[in-house]
Amino acid sequence: MQKESIKFEDSLIFEGMTSIRAIIKGIDNNISDRRIEKILFDKEKIQKIGKNVGYLKAVSQKYGFTLVETTGKDLEKITLGTSHGGIVAICSERTIPCLDKSATLDGDFYVMIEGIEDPYNFGYALRSLYAMGCDGIILSERNWMSAAGVVARSSAGASEMLKMYRNSAAYAADYFKKRGFSIVCADERTENVLGKCELKLPLLLIIGGEKRGISKSLLDTADVLVKIDYGREFQASLSAASAAAMFAYEIKRQNRKEKTALK
Q: Is the dihedral of CA 50, 55, 60, 65 positive or negative?
A: negative
**Average pLDDT, whole number, for the chain?**
89
Residue 200 per-residue DSSP state: P
6 has pLDDT over 60 = no
- Kindly state whether residues 199 and 79 are assigned to the same domain: no
Predicted confidence at residue 262, as pLDDT, reads 63
pLDDT bin (cut points 50, 70, 90) of residue 5 is: very low
The alpha carbons of the chain give a radius of gyration, in whole angstroms, of 20
Question: Quick one: 77 exposed, middle or buried, by C-beta within 10 A (0-12, 13-18, 19+)?
Answer: exposed
Start-to-end C-alpha separation, the chain: 47
Give how many domains the chain has, as a whole number: 2
Work out the average pLDDT over 155-160: 96
- DSSP-based three-state secondary structure for 234: coil
Q: Do the domain assignments include residue 99?
A: no
Predicted confidence at residue 210, as pLDDT, reads 64
Mind listing the pLDDT tens digit for each residue in 185-234?
Answer: 998 889 999 999 999 999 999 998 766 678 887 888 899 999 999 889 88
Nearest to 13 by CA among 120, 144, 148: 148
The type of residue at 254 is Q
Give the lowest-confidence range in 8-22, 116-130, 194-208.
8-22
| 137 membership: H or E segment, kind and range | strand 136-139
Mind listing the pLDDT tens digit for each residue in 16-45?
Answer: 999 999 999 999 999 999 999 999 999 999
- Kindly state whether residues 43 and 140 are assigned to the same domain: no
Predicted confidence at residue 189, as pLDDT, reads 86
- Give the structural domain span for 163: 105-262
- Kindly state whether residues 119 and 187 are assigned to the same domain: yes
- Kindly state whether residues 87 and 109 are assigned to the same domain: no
Predicted confidence at residue 4, as pLDDT, reads 47
Q: Do the domain assignments include residue 96?
A: no
Packed helices 16-28 and 46-63: angle between N→C axes, nearest 10 degrees: 20
- Kindly state whether residues 124 and 220 are assigned to the same domain: yes
